[in-house]
Structure 1
Amino acid sequence: MTKALVPVRAGFLPLVDAALLIIARERDFARDEGIDLHLIRETSWANIRDRISVGHFDVAHMLAPLPIAANLGLSPLDVPFIAPMALGLGGNAVTVSNGLWKALAAEGAPSDGNPARAGESLRAVIAARRNRGGSPLVFAVVQTFSGHHYELRYWLAACGIDPARDLTITVVPPPLMVDALKAGRIDGYCVGEPWNTAAVHDGSGRILTTKSSIWRSSPEKVLGLTSEWAEANPASLSGLLRALHRASLWCEDKANAADLTALLARPGYLNQPEPVILAAITNMISLGDNGPSHVADFLTFASKAATFPWQSHALWFYSQMVRWGQVRHSKEGAEAARLSYRPDLYRQALAELGVAMPGASAKIEGALVERTHLPAARGQLVLGPDGFFDGVIFDPDRLEDYIAASKIHTALHKI
C-alpha cells in the first residue's frame, strides 16, 4: 500500500529566488520525499510573516533577517522562527528612474555597476538637490527587516551618504516596485529579480549596481518556519530540506536554464516574460546604459555552500539592526540572532546524501578575495570570493568592535 503524502503549505513571493520551492514541487523532488508541497503566492513580506505566524503556512520563502527580527521581539506577533536552510546567494539590484539615471550619468555614474563610483555620483546628485532646495530622493526597499534594506544602507553609508539624513527610504512590495517607479512615487529601489530587469525591459528604469557588487556571495532568502512546526514535524522538515537541496542542484545546472525560466514564468508563479526572468538565471544583467553583460555571482543557487545557513550571516544582519537603531545590542540579543539559523538541522537532513558541508557554523565574512578550496565534512568546498566593496571584514567573534566602528548609524528606534 502506497504511503500517503504529507501536505506542506509554503508561502512565496514572485521572485526568481523562490525557484528552489517551485522546482521542488514541479520536478517532484518534494514528492520523492513523501511531501505534497502546496505553494501559495503572496504579494508582500508582511503577509508572509503574518500568515506563517498564525498557521496559514507551514514554511515560507522568507527574507533572511525576518526570523532574527521575530526572535528579537521586533515582529507584531510573538512567534519564534527558525531558518534551517538558505535559498541561495545574491539576486538583488539597485534600480533608479530614467530621470535620476540621467543626473547620475552627468556626475560620472558607471555603466558597469561599480558601487563605489555609483555611490560617488549619487552623493553628488544629492548635494546638488540640497543646494537648490530640492526634496530628498526617495528609495524603496521591500521590508524594514530585509537584506535589501541593510545592503542599501550599508552601500550608502560606505559612500558617505547618511540614509537617515540625505534621502528617504520607504517600503514597497516587490511586485509593485516598477509601477511605483513609473508613477514617480519613488526615485529608485533595491529589490530582487525579476523586478530590476522588468524596469529595464519596459523602459522605466536603469540598474545602477547589484547586491553581488556590494557584498559578493551574500545571503538573501531562507526557508523560514516556526520553531513549533519544526519540533512537531521533524521528518517532514528533513525531507523538505533534502528536496530543496536537490532543487538547488537542478536550478544551478546551466542545461536546465530554459526549463527553469519557463516554469518560473507561468501565471501562477512569477507571471513575467521569459527574457526578464532568464537574465538573473544566466547572470546576464543590463547595467546602466549597457545591454546584458555577465555579472559574476549575481545569483547562486547551490555552489559556494549557497544553501548553508551560516550563523555569521545571521550575526551580520543583527549588527545592522543595531547599527540602524532597530534594537539595542546585548549578548542575549546576539545569541538569539545566532540561534535563529539552524545549521544543525541542515546537517542532520542532508547527512544521508553525502553532501559536502562546512564543518564550522560561522565564518569571517569578507575575507575571501578569490575562489578558495576548503576542507569540509564529507569532501571539499569552494567558497568565495565574498568581499564587501569597501574592503571591510566582519568577524563574528568581534561583533562589538564591528558595531562600534560604524561611523554612520542611527539612534535606537529612529529608523
Structure 2
Amino acid sequence: MSTELTIGFLPLVDACLPILAHEHGFAEEQGVSLRFVKDMSWATVLDRLLYGHSDAAHLIAPLAIAATLGRGRPAQPLSVPFVLGLNGNAITLRPELARQVRPEGQMGMPAEVGAALKVIADERRAAGKPLTFGVVHRYSSHNYMLRYWLAACGIRPDHDVEISTVPPPFCADALKQGEVDGICVGEPWNSVAVEQGAGEIVLSSAQIWRRGVEKVLALRENVLEEKRESVERLIRALCKAGAHFVDPANWDLNANILARSEYLDGSAALIHRAISDRLLIARGGPVVHYPDFMFQYREAANFPWVSQAEWLYTQMVRWDGITYDAGHARKAGRVFRPDVYRSALLGTGEPLPGASSKVEGSLRQKTSVSTQQGVMTLESNRFFDGIAFDPADLPGYIAKLP
C-alpha cells in the first residue's frame, strides 16, 4: 500500500524531479503516491507548507532557513533532506540596457558586466532614477546571488540600485511593462522575457557561484520525523528521476511532460533549451550553450551540504543587517539534513560524500573526494570573485565581504 504525499511547487523547470518521479513511476516503485499543488508565489507555497496543506514543497533554499529562524514570521522549523538542483537562474535586463553591458549575442563575464553596469547605475542614481531589479522573494538565492554580484562589482544594493519582489510567473511582464530594469529568475521565465522582446540575458547564476544551491525539498521538521520512512522512499525516487533527467535521450520526453498545463503550462521548446543548457540570449540571435547552466544529479548535486545552509545564513546576516549569532548559525546549518539523505541511499548505487560540509568555492579543477559509498569527483565550484567560504569561520567570512 502506497503512502500519499502532497507537494507544493511553482511552475519552474527546477520543479522537475518530483514531477518526473511521479510521471515515470519512480515514486510508485518506492511505494509513494504524489499529489501536486501548483501556486504562483513562494509566499503561498510556504504558507501551504506551514499550515499543513502540503507535506513537502519545492522551495527556495534561503526561505527554509528564514522560516526556521523566524525571519518575518513566527519561527517554525523546516528540514531539507534533498536539494532539487543547483543554479538555473539568469539575470535578464531590458534590451537597451543589456546591449550596453555585455558582448552582442552572448553572456558576458560577471566582473566586466558589473563594471559596465556600475557606470550606468551611478548615472541613474545621480539623476534620481535608480536602476530597479526584480527578484522572486526576499529570502531567495536569486536575491542573494544578485546582491553578491552587485556588491562585488562596487554597486551597493538598496543604495545605488533598488530591489523588489516579483513572483516568477510575472517577471517577464514586469520587465515588459517597465516596472523593473532587470530580473533574476529561474527558467523558463528569462526565456519568456527574451521571446517577448522584453529582455536579454546578460549572466547566469552559475557564473556568479559555479555550484550555487538553488531549490530544495522542504518539510516541516515534525512531518519529516513522522513520515521519515516515506520521505526516504521519496528520496530514492527523486534520485532515479535525476538520473533520467540528465540523460540527453530523455530531454524531449521530459520537456513535453513539464510543459503540460498541470505543471509549467508553457513551451516545451523553451523548457528543452533550459534542461539542455541552451539559452536564447536575445530575440533573433543564436542559441548559446552554457554547460551546467542548471546543474542536476552529478557530483552529489542533490546532497544537502550543511556548508550550503551556513553560506545562506551569512548572506541573511549581511543583507538583513542583523548581528551574527552562533546559535542561529547552528540552527541554519541543521535545516539541511544530510543524515536523512544518507540513510535513504545507503546500500544503493548512489555515491555518498564522506563529509557533510565543505569549503565552498575552493575547487578550480576536477578533484576526487573521499566518499562513504561509491566514487565521486567534484569540479570547479568557485565564486566569480575568487573568495572561498570556509564554514569553520563564519564571522571571518562575513567581515571580509564588501
1:40-189 matches, cutoff 5 A? 40-104=37-101, 111-131=106-126, 133-189=127-183
CA distance in 1, matches of 2:250, 2:50: 35
Match of 2:391 in 1: 396
CA distance in 1, matches of 2:396, 2:75: 30
CA distance in 1, matches of 2:144, 2:201: 18
Is structure 2 residue 7 aligned with structure 1 residue 10?
Answer: yes
How far did residue 90 of structure 1 move? Answer: 1.0
* CA distance 1:208–1:84, shift in 2 (3 Å): same
Of 26-35 and 368-377, deviating more is 368-377
How far did residue 142 of structure 1 move? Answer: 0.4
**Alignment equivalent of 1:219, drawn from 196, 209, 213:** 213
1:317-356 matches, cutoff 5 A? 317-325=312-320, 327-356=322-351
**Alignment equivalent of 1:27, drawn from 21, 24, 29:** 24
| Cα-to-partner distance string for 1:174-205 (whole Å, 9 max, x where unaligned) | 00000111111111110011111111122211
Are the aligned partners of 1:96 and 1:208 in contact in 2 as well (CA < 8 Å)? Answer: yes
How far did residue 173 of structure 1 move? Answer: 0.4
How far did residue 271 of structure 1 move? Answer: 1.1
**TM-score using structure 1 length:** 0.94
How far did residue 103 of structure 1 move? Answer: 4.0
Match of 2:269 in 1: 275
Amino acid in structure 1 at the alignment position of 2:254: L
Are the aligned partners of 1:24 and 1:247 in contact in 2 as well (CA < 8 Å)? Answer: yes
| 3-state secondary structure, aligned to 2:393 | helix
* CA distance 1:64–1:212, shift in 2 (3 Å): same
CA distance in 1, matches of 2:87, 2:36: 23
**Structure 1: which 5+ runs fail to align?**
408-415
1:241-252 matches, cutoff 5 A? 241-252=235-246
What is the RMSD of the two structures over their aligned residues, measured on CA atoms?
1.5
Match of 1:410 in 2: none
How far did residue 100 of structure 1 move? Answer: 2.0
| 3-state secondary structure, aligned to 2:262 | coil
Amino acid in structure 2 at the alignment position of 1:237: V
Is structure 2 residue 230 aligned with structure 1 residue 236?
Answer: yes
How far did residue 288 of structure 1 move? Answer: 5.5
Match of 1:412 in 2: none
Match of 2:352 in 1: 357
How far did residue 284 of structure 1 move? Answer: 0.9
Are the aligned partners of 1:50 and 1:77 in contact in 2 as well (CA < 8 Å)? Answer: no
Are the aligned partners of 1:81 and 1:227 in contact in 2 as well (CA < 8 Å)? Answer: yes
Are the aligned partners of 1:371 and 1:382 in contact in 2 as well (CA < 8 Å)? Answer: yes
Are the aligned partners of 1:9 and 1:57 in contact in 2 as well (CA < 8 Å)? Answer: yes
How far did residue 286 of structure 1 move? Answer: 2.7
CA distance in 2, matches of 1:223, 1:362: 19
**TM-score using structure 2 length:** 0.97
Is structure 2 residue 379 aligned with structure 1 residue 384?
Answer: yes
Are the aligned partners of 1:322 and 1:328 in contact in 2 as well (CA < 8 Å)? Answer: yes
Is structure 2 residue 254 aligned with structure 1 residue 260?
Answer: yes
